[in-house]
Structure 1
Amino acid sequence: MPQPHGFSYEQRADGSVVITHHGRTASTLRGGRAEKFLAEVVSGDAQLVMARWTGAYKFGNERMARSHPRNQGGRR
């Protein structure tokens, strides 16, 4: 799976967090969600965390990959 890139975030004075992707606003988090995001982004891969929080980590090929013979795990 390709690593996501181009994400950045900014914590604002009012406690909200704005996540951008290539300079465009992807998501704005406030309150408890912003705090949860900040705790998670510090402890993990920041690009992957931001992609997951914005929903930009699924691109439509998951359904096809599930039925590929390589991913059957011995099931037939």
Structure 2
Amino acid sequence: MTRSEYEPFAYRVTKAGDVLISRAGRLVTTVRGAGAARLIARLGRDEASDQAALQRVTGNYRRGNEH
């Protein structure tokens, strides 16, 4: 299991079109504007792809060089 399966990201889209991303109940980042629009378009397909997109946006994902 990966770490994201233990502590998945959660997101909420506001009326203004911002995406609030949280993990373990704490706000991690807010995505606004064109970036938020691109992210919203990628979300909602399935849980695995949602988590991958949220990890990439927050910068919290494996790059292949960690040990």
Structure 1 portions without partners, runs of 5+: 65-76
Paired residue total: 63
- Paired with 2:41 and 2:54, the residues of 1 have a C-alpha distance of 12
Alpha-carbon shift at residue 33 of structure 1 (Å): 0.6
RMSD, matched Cα: 2.3
- Paired with 1:63 and 1:56, the residues of 2 have a C-alpha distance of 12
1:1-76 pair list within 5 angstroms = 2=2, 4-5=4-5, 6-43=8-45, 45-58=49-62, 62=65
Structure 2 portions without partners, runs of 5+: none
TM-score by length of 1: 0.67
Which protein has the larger Cα radius of gyration, Structure 1 or Structure 2? Answer: 1
- Paired with 2:58 and 2:29, the residues of 1 have a C-alpha distance of 6
Alpha-carbon shift at residue 63 of structure 1 (Å): 5.5
